[in-house]
């Protein structure tokens, strides 16, 4: 039995706590630079993962690439196992605010909350590719 929360359930939980804002960072999706994805509507998942990979490479890989240190390795399911059913939401908050030895936003304060969440989504998609991204 899997104890992982599908992305759709996580998105619903985050949306319910977002004061009705369209974007996860509270910005209006219609504003330029709001973090809303433009372009091919059918390609939004690929576009989001590509953006997440770019942020991961810039801010997260130094600690989360395999063998980089004590942080959970991207792609290693065992490193990410044993977490609560709400662990995705907790992961996003820890990535943004920092937790134990993990610095907030991977020591890149210029990143938006949406950027950090997108990098975490990318990491989850590599580690758990069978989960839907929606």
Residue 36 lies in a domain: no
Alpha-carbon gap, residue 93 to 88, rounded angstroms: 9
Residue 33 lies in a domain: no
Residue 93 lies in a domain: yes
What residues make up the domain containing 66?
Answer: 1-15+45-134
Alpha-carbon gap, residue 25 to 27, rounded angstroms: 6
Residue 85 lies in a domain: yes
Residue 20 lies in a domain: no
Residue 61 lies in a domain: yes
Number of domains in the chain: 1
pLDDT for the residue numbered 8 = 41
Closest by Cα among 55, 94, 93 to 71:
94
Instruction: Indicate which CATH number applies to the domain containing 133.
Output: 1.10.760.10
- 132 within 8 A of 6, measured Cβ to Cβ: yes
CA separation, residue 20 to residues 16, 44, 48, 96, 112 (Å): 7, 21, 21, 20, 19
One pLDDT digit (tens) per residue for the chain, 134 residues: 444 444 443 343 333 333 322 233 333 333 333 344 444 555 778 899 999 999 999 999 999 998 887 899 999 999 888 777 778 889 899 999 999 999 999 999 999 999 999 999 999 999 988 877 65
Residue 63 lies in a domain: yes
**Strand, helix or coil for residue 84:** coil
pLDDT for the residue numbered 87 = 81
pLDDT for the residue numbered 68 = 80
Residue 27 lies in a domain: no
């Amino acid at each position: 039995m899997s104890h992982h929360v599908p992305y759709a359930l996580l998105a619903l939980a985050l949306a319910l706590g977002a004061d009705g804002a369209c974007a996860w960072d509270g910005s209006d999706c219609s504003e330029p630079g709001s973090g809303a994805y433009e372009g091919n509507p059918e390609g939004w998942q690929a576009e989001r993962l590509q953006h997440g990979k770019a942020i991961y490479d810039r801010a997260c890989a130094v600690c989360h690439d395999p063998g980089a240190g004590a942080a959970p390795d991207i792609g290693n399911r065992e490193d990410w196992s044993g977490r609560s059913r709400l662990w995705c939401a907790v992961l996003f908050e820890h990535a943004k605010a920092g937790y134990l030895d993990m610095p907030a936003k991977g020591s890149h304060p210029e990143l938006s909350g949406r950027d950090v969440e997108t990098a975490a989504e990318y990491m989850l998609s590599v580690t758990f590719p069978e989960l839907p991204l929606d």
